[in-house]
Amino acid sequence: MKKIKTVGVVGAGTMGSALAQKFAQEGFNVILADRAMNFVEKGLSNIKTTLEDGVQKSVFTKEQVENALSKLTGTENLADLKACDLIVEAIYENFNAKTELLKSLSEIITDDCIVATNTSSYSVTELAKNISHPERFIGLHFFYHAAKNRLVEIIPGEKTSDKTFEAVKIFCVLAGKDAISCKDVYGFAVNRFFVPWLNESTRLLQEGIGTMEEIDIVCMKVFGIGMGPFALMNATGVPVAYHSEKTLEVFGKLYAVAELLKVQAESGRQWDINPEWNNPVDAEKEKIIRERMLGVVLFVCSQIFDEKVCTATDLNRGAKIGLRWRKGPVELMKSLGVVEVNRLVKFISELYEMKMPESVGEKFWQMHSVKLEKRNDIAIITMDQPENMNALSEETVHELSEKFHEADKNPLIKTIFITGSGKAFVAGADIKFFVKNIKSNKICDIESFTGFGQKVFKRIDHSQKTVVAIVNGLTLGGGLELALCADVILALPKAQFAFPETGIGIYPGLGGTQRSVKKIGKGLSKYLIHTGKMLSAKDAEEIGLADKVITADDAFEILSGNQPLPTISKKELNDKWKHIRDFFEENSIIEIQSRNFSNHSLTKDEGEKIAKTISYKAPIAIRLADQLIEEALGCESELNHLEEIFSTSDALLGLTSIGKKVEYAGK
């Protein structure tokens, strides 16, 4: 499979420069090209400014910025792109301009260079007719702001090869993007429902049903978003919405461009929204706006399912990651129920004289959060809900159980890999589940969930097959407990490990107090659990929590079966970790909390710093975690204190104050 190391980006405008920045940040060599050097220089200057602003805001380190800038070069000569493994076309949305560019590239680049279009409107298959070797051509539709927004739609054309598709999937992961796959139809998946949503808002304004401010306010409430449609069009460009909707008109009357949107786009002006407006919306008016805006989304999404454009999982993910909707369209459908969705879809169908979609119902709304792939004698289980940081919900743990059982019982499978998609391996359990059940006085449901999770993790731990965790990113709480069930833990350089539970009022309940001791010993387990400190991949390798740090390329080679597992050798702790281990092994938690400890090899300041960190944690959670570690009665012993810990006011305070500084009362 082709490995992508050097990426060309053609078009140094807002989108192109953002893509070049992101690719360089992720370690690719990047050539930014445009038709004249003044455009290129402006793009590079904007990238430099953005990165330097990031240093001021502590988003990047100075070293990271220097590394990224060193990966970037600019050119006005397309011939310089001959060195590229992948070229992303990111010029303005004009079909003729794109086709001319693709013809020019065909005369320059190597036959195996992958070419991708970032079009949001045009057919990938149609564009592919203008490039030699169309099997290496594909759609990669990135979303604004491309350096920050993780979503990308991967759109194979009719002639796109499987090799090209697989190569860009890997590229997207390495580029820090969360990809969804779509059929090559106008609007693909997300814009297919999002742009008509914008268009409908202008119809409501045009019809005098509501003001821009009223429509924005209602939409923010209904869809759980920070900006309404008019504010969003101002941010991304009114002409963009207009031109995108024009390409969708082929789908019927609903998609016809609103006259007011056309007028506004051609005027070159933004919508004149009053930022101070904060008046209540009349109830009847709110109902009409809600039903029209919601109905359009549900109608179009049902059409998408009719046409099998993408899966329900990908459609929902696209809205949550790409558009920042709190609930994706499929979640909205599930929460509304079949009867109400059917009513709203029928309402839009009749309003715009469109055929009623057939794909309305629970069977069309099935989503999955865990993926299983089998390749010869290996199975790959991917925690696959990046929009929720792969959090362990009830549904996710049940899916994990099913997928692991399927892999484990297969006699052909020798090795089972567990990894995650997106920024996280698993970022802990679903906090909302805990909060909901504490508030409704259903701690028994928390006990049932944790008990089932323990059984699943025990099966993984005791499997006769080799289980390998490839930890790709954030690995917190239940995620670290899952990784500890594996025989081998391999960490990518960006992986991070922590037990944050005592900082949010609870303790590890899926085996963390027991399996961590087996892996790294009592002293270091106490350090991790009592302080909640975040470990880098390098730190985790140094203490033996991770068996080895590997590159992303190594991970893909291992998962593809082209490379064996690395040799794991036991490492001696360095002095730093020995001192921390000894501090926790030779001082009780009470001695540390009361500052009545022996420093041993730590300096007094180091001991004080650890004690101070622990003083911010929930006292009951610390006591119970320490007790469980000391008693060493096995993973199931953690179930014995769940009612006690989740009944505390500290637990509710901590779980509802994630990311905030709190003072625990020990109650």
Residues 251, 192: Cα–Cα separation, whole Å: 10
Domain assignment present for 636: yes
Contact of 430 with 392, CB cutoff 8 Å: yes
Tokens of 350: 């009749």
What percentage of the chain exceeds 70 in pLDDT? Answer: 100
Domain assignment present for 130: yes
Confidence of residue 103 (pLDDT cuts 50, 70, 90): very high
What percentage of the chain exceeds 90 in pLDDT? Answer: 95
From the list 379, 399, 388, 454, the residue with the least C-alpha distance to 421 is 388
Which residue, 364, 393, 413, sits at the end of a domain?
A: 364
Does 322 share its domain with 382? no
Residues 167, 172: Cα–Cα separation, whole Å: 9
Which residue, 343, 364, 385, sits at the end of a domain?
A: 364
Burial class (CB in 10 A: 0-12, 13-18, 19+), 89: buried
Q: How far, CA to CA in Å, does 13 sit from each of 46, 65, 89, 354?
A: 9, 20, 11, 38
Predicted confidence (pLDDT) per residue in 601-615, tens digit = 788 889 999 999 999
Does 527 share its domain with 477? yes
Does 298 share its domain with 220? yes
Does 490 share its domain with 619? yes
- Looking at residue 373, what is its pLDDT? 97
Residues 483, 99: Cα–Cα separation, whole Å: 48
- Looking at residue 601, what is its pLDDT? 78
The domain that holds 169 is classified in CATH as: 3.40.50.720
- Looking at residue 506, what is its pLDDT? 98
Contact of 143 with 152, CB cutoff 8 Å: yes
Domain assignment present for 639: yes
Does 157 share its domain with 24? yes
Number of domains in the chain: 3
Q: How far, CA to CA in Å, does 398 sit from each of 101, 293, 369, 401, 404?
A: 49, 34, 10, 5, 10
The domain that holds 334 is classified in CATH as: 1.10.1040.50
Q: Is the Cα torsion angle 554, 6, 496, 398 positive or negative in sign?
A: negative
Q: Domain residues for 308?
A: 190-364
Does 380 share its domain with 290? no
Predicted confidence (pLDDT) per residue in 111-165, tens digit = 999 999 999 889 999 999 999 999 999 999 999 889 999 999 999 999 999 999 9
Does 330 share its domain with 360? yes
The domain that holds 486 is classified in CATH as: 3.90.226.10
Q: For the beta carbon of residue 59, count every other beta carbon within 10 angstroms.
A: 13
Residue 1 has pLDDT above 80, yes or no: no
Does 342 share its domain with 399? no
Tokens of 370: 């865990």
Does 154 share its domain with 204? no
Tokens of 618: 């929930």
Does 11 share its domain with 133? yes
* Positions marked active-site: 481, 501
Domain assignment present for 664: no
Does 253 share its domain with 358? yes
Predicted confidence (pLDDT) per residue in 519-531, tens digit = 999 999 999 999 9
- pTM score over 0.85: yes
Q: For the beta carbon of residue 667, count every other beta carbon within 10 angstroms.
A: 11
Does 138 share its domain with 235? no
- Beta strand 137-142 with 151-156 is antiparallel
- How high is the mean pLDDT of the chain? 96
- Beta strand 178-181 with 151-156 is parallel
Which residue, 157, 181, 205, sits at the end of a domain?
A: 181
**Alpha helix stretches (DSSP H) within 307-409:** 312-317, 329-336, 338-351, 394-409
Q: How far apart are the first and last CA of the chain?
A: 58
For 234-247, b/e burial (b = at least 16 CB within 10 A) is: bebbbbbbbbbbbb
